[in-house]
Amino acid sequence: MSDARDGVPEGAADDEDATPDGGHAATTPSTHTVRLELVDEPGQLLAALHPIADNGGNLLSIYHERGNKTPRGRIPVEVDFEATQERFEGIVEALRSEGVNVMQAGTERYAEEVTILLFGHLIDTDLSDTLSRIEACESASVADVSLAAPQGTEESSSARLRLEARAGETEAALAAVQELADEKELRLVEPLTGVEA
């Protein structure tokens, strides 16, 4: 996927200010979101925010999903902050070394979204198992599913899946889905990635 700033005139102007070696992405702060998993005990949230602030992250928002529990019975927290790419990497490292479980770390710029079609005996081959196994693969998560089973559950049906892949891992994610499709004798229609212009 191309850089989101491609073709935007302001981006070109910014580039002139970028240092020759550091480049634009490394020196300009951008918004990052990390998804953390906290034990439900007092002080845990504060302990998780310290590594962010201490390593040059500018906190923007905290979404504390108290009503929601992760499969391990912990509380998911989403934290948005601004940092340069270099500092962001340091922050994630610091969080992990403090023992905070970082479930997801990325910037919008780095999230690759990809739409695929699957067709075949989706229902008979256990669609929820198919989805949870895609979800379980490290490179991608399923953001959205639409199913069309016009001839009832026994005939061939189709699904459109929107996957969110981690930066640079779209191909790995597609390969994992292909492997799963082969195993279940489903057909996968991949997008023509990188050629969408």
Partner 1 sequence: MKIAVVGAGAVGRSVVDLASEYGHEVVAVADSSSAVVADGAAGRNVGVDPDAVVARKAERGIVGDDDPADALAADYDALVEATPTTLGDAEPGFSHVRTALERDRHAVLANKGPVAERFGDLRALVDDSDGEIRFEATVGGAIPAVSTVEDIEPGHVTAVRGVLNGTANFILTRMAAEGLDYEHVLAEAQDLGVAEADPSFDVDGTDAALKCVILANVLSFGAADNPADAREFTLDDADVEGIRDVPGSALRLAAEDGRTVRLIGEATGETVRVAPRLVPENGTLAVSGTQNIVQIETTHAGRLNISGRGAGGPETASAVLGDVGRLE
- Beta strand 30-38 pairing with 101-107: antiparallel
Choose one: 23-31, 40-48, 67-75, 187-195; the region binding partner 1 (CB under 8 A).
187-195
107 binds partner 1 (CB under 8 A): no
Give dist(CA 74, CA 146) in Å, integer: 30
Q: Which is nearer to partner 1, 29 or 191 (CB)?
A: 191
Neighbours of 107 (CB within 10 A): 16
**Which residue shows structure tokens 């597609």?**
174
The rounded Cα 49 to chain-centroid distance in angstroms is: 21
189 binds partner 1 (CB under 8 A): yes
Q: Given candidates 111, 131, 143, 149, which one binds partner 1 under the rule CB under 8 A? A: 149
DSSP 110: G
160 binds partner 1 (CB under 8 A): yes
159 binds partner 1 (CB under 8 A): yes
Give dist(CA 180, CA 142) in Å, integer: 14
117 binds partner 1 (CB under 8 A): yes
Site residues (vs partner 1, CB under 8 A): 115-117, 119-120, 146, 148-150, 156-160, 187, 189-192, 195-197
